[in-house]
Structure 1
């Protein structure tokens, strides 16, 4: 028997019972795989364009350094060298910030050393210089290729609409000079070439974005000593966050018991006392009072069961994380699809954190996003559990607005995991949480 709430959504328990059938149906009728790859390609294009901008800045800085080095031969360059090195550092910091927005945070190797001699002797300066040379060449080339592919795809794919308008040499350039375009069939042949450009764009743009970012992640990251110091500080902060999250969870349980279950048990006690007195005075009214006491006791039991399930959902213990997430998706008022690829079980604490992350994210989607569809993807790779929640709502999600995203970050960081939110105006909102599974 499937129960439905006011919004027509199935309850979490009923959704978990038909999880296998629903999950199989969603996996079979899923056009979102192609859409997800297209969005990944567009994200890759966004990264390539951002990398192209920093490559242009790096080229300007390199030219400035070259001019400064030449002027050093006459002594004037020594006055300009500190400014040129600060420019190099500024561009490198801009690249660190760009890469940190699309992945793990990159911290500067060390504070800039004071004095020209110390700056020139610092390994960080030379690594930043090496990055700028590589990024100016390979990074700029990849950015230009990434920009060229979609323009070429649009140009060739739409050629049948405008091939008769420009001069013949322009049309020949659109066809890459492979054949003469002088009629509609030849223009249609070029449009097929445009489809090929689109396929190349979708397939290779994410890889080019990763290759463009590779040099920055290798050369601009902090050294071993700096990384260890930051790691200790991070662990201290995440331990404090874990304790705060634990205390907040205890307060939530205490409030639920105090405001709900305890009040109903008090009501049961009062009604039983009234029924006891009614037996002596008016036995006919005792039956009604006992019935009300029984209803209050049943409601108290239901509230207590809800509190217990909020501590650790039984479906995680009885079945699996995939089934539990499918139950959450079934209970969400917004149509939600679950894509779970989990070869085995993770630690109970990791699965519980993943469950509550998805539950909080879906609650935010239902309350604030105005979305028409949501997708939850969970996969395990290299001893990491990766969660990705996407909705097509209005965007502008902010973890500092009190929407519960800050709690998701604290839960993830308490497990030494990562949290990344992308929510531009107009959407889509993409939440990525990664949790280490351990041994």
Structure 2
């Protein structure tokens, strides 16, 4: 019975989050749809003015205006799903823009999003706000003037508490309608952008080459940074302790003849310093490539990280084979960083690590039930995680709406 209750509560929370996400998507899409509608109206106006020659002077404004809302929509959709690569500046000349397949696809998106997307965003936001207004209506309807006491979409006049309760039940119906229809409306609103704003195959290939060059440069920078970290660790820790060992051994040699007791004490200090240097050296080595990967494999290493996490963390890692050493090391360090972030910042009560291999890819999903709001921008810990993954031509998707949950999904080519 308790298990059934927990399952029902989890299902209800999941549904509530889906509804809130749908409302946020629709409202965000409403903003870009308004921009798309205004630019679409300007495109139509300029086309009409071209018939009398005046529009030719205004046509040069079209490429940049078309590109602007399309880039905002790409950024919006990338925050809520697979990344859509930005296209950069639009062609400066109208003829070049008309010959550009990306501009033509963006024009088709303007027509779809500036009409259908605007209607879906406005309809979804209105439905949700009207539901909230009607559900709370019995609490404040008496303060309204008599001529304005009936809310929108209600076909009866409100004269007493019974009529107001009828408005409440009508609001509940509107809320149920949004719960059923909202997620589908959000997906339909995003569909033209997912279909038309992705780069064409030939452009996508050239952008992948440029992106690959950028990730290779980032990997080299990360490699140089890691070498500097190792050098600092050896210089500031292990090297200083080894210097202390040599000093103590020299003092012991000088004290052997005249003070054997002091020599014995110096030898004990030298031994302690040597053991401390050895421990620090092992720590540095584990930071380069954890021995647990070789001893227990990636599944065992991830289970060890989960066991040491400050937040209760379950693992479901099914990896029938081994990946390349560098890939497993990246997955290990990324999971370690993610679990550290969960422990420090998420205020979560539970976390999970799920790992699978499919189609030559190693997939990891790290989720927590914390407060959300994780920032994957430059300068954050997630940016470092993304750099590690992209250096292996992998992908990272971060979903962390305010209120949670936070989900990190990564895929790495499982090369051998």
Same fold, judged at TM 0.5 (above): yes
CA distance in 2, matches of 1:190, 1:63: 37
CA distance in 1, matches of 2:364, 2:64: 38
Compared CA separation, residues 359 and 273, structure 1 to 2 (3 A):
same
Compared CA separation, residues 152 and 436, structure 1 to 2 (3 A):
farther
| Residue number among 266, 278, 291 corresponding to 2:268 in the alignment | 291
| Residue number among 210, 216, 224 corresponding to 1:247 in the alignment | 224
Residue-by-residue CA offset, 1:14-70 (whole Å, 9 max, x unaligned): xxxxxxxxxxxxxx8997786566455434433322221221222222223333333
CA distance in 2, matches of 1:435, 1:277: 61
**How many angstroms does 1:411 deviate by?**
0.8
CA distance in 1, matches of 2:131, 2:282: 58
Equivalent residue, structure 1, for 2:93? 114
Equivalent residue, structure 2, for 1:87? 65
Instruction: Say yes or no: does 1:182 pair with 2:156.
Output: no
| Residue number among 180, 198, 203 corresponding to 1:200 in the alignment | 180
Compared CA separation, residues 267 and 118, structure 1 to 2 (3 A):
closer
Equivalent residue, structure 2, for 1:66? 44
CA contact (8 A) 1:354 1:387 kept: no
CA distance in 2, matches of 1:153, 1:326: 46
Equivalent residue, structure 2, for 1:307? 284
CA distance in 2, matches of 1:35, 1:411: 33
Residue-by-residue CA offset, 1:147-183 (whole Å, 9 max, x unaligned): 2453244345445645777679836946999xx9827
**How many angstroms does 1:339 deviate by?**
5.4
Equivalent residue, structure 2, for 1:351? 328
Equivalent residue, structure 1, for 2:410? 434
Secondary structure of the residue aligned to 2:411 is strand
Compared CA separation, residues 156 and 324, structure 1 to 2 (3 A):
farther
CA contact (8 A) 2:394 2:413 kept: no
May I ask how many residue pairs the two structures share in their alignment? Answer: 400
Instruction: Say yes or no: does 1:215 pair with 2:210.
Output: no
Compared CA separation, residues 105 and 121, structure 1 to 2 (3 A):
closer
| Residue number among 260, 264, 267 corresponding to 2:237 in the alignment | 260
CA distance in 1, matches of 2:374, 2:154: 39
Compared CA separation, residues 132 and 143, structure 1 to 2 (3 A):
same
Secondary structure of the residue aligned to 2:192 is helix
Equivalent residue, structure 2, for 1:140? 118
Instruction: Say yes or no: does 1:170 pair with 2:150.
Output: yes
CA contact (8 A) 2:372 2:406 kept: no
Residue-by-residue CA offset, 1:191-221 (whole Å, 9 max, x unaligned): 76477357437xx52x543432232232223
CA distance in 2, matches of 1:281, 1:342: 63
CA distance in 2, matches of 1:47, 1:238: 30
Compared CA separation, residues 359 and 218, structure 1 to 2 (3 A):
same
| Residue number among 96, 104, 107 corresponding to 2:83 in the alignment | 104
Equivalent residue, structure 1, for 2:3? none
Residue-by-residue CA offset, 1:257-300 (whole Å, 9 max, x unaligned): 33222332333343344445444333333443333233223222
For residues 216-231 of structure 1, the aligned pairs below 5 Å read 216-231=193-208
CA distance in 2, matches of 1:415, 1:317: 20
Compared CA separation, residues 359 and 153, structure 1 to 2 (3 A):
farther
CA contact (8 A) 2:389 2:412 kept: no
Secondary structure of the residue aligned to 2:150 is helix
CA contact (8 A) 2:154 2:167 kept: no
CA contact (8 A) 1:99 1:106 kept: no
Equivalent residue, structure 2, for 1:20? none
Q: Which 10-residue stretch deviates more, 321-330 or 281-290?
A: 321-330
For residues 393-432 of structure 1, the aligned pairs below 5 Å read 400-401=378-379, 404-419=381-396, 432=408
CA RMSD of aligned residues (A): 4.3
Compared CA separation, residues 400 and 195, structure 1 to 2 (3 A):
closer
Q: Which 10-residue stretch deviates more, 68-77 or 409-418?
A: 68-77
TM-score, normalised with respect to structure 1: 0.72
CA contact (8 A) 2:134 2:168 kept: no
CA distance in 2, matches of 1:300, 1:69: 76
CA distance in 2, matches of 1:398, 1:270: 48
CA distance in 2, matches of 1:309, 1:112: 51
Bigger RCO of structures 1 and 2 (CA < 8 A, at least 6 apart): 1
Structure 1, unmatched stretches of 5+, are 1-27
Q: Which 10-residue stretch deviates more, 255-264 or 71-80?
A: 71-80
CA distance in 1, matches of 2:9, 2:333: 27
CA distance in 1, matches of 2:156, 2:79: 37
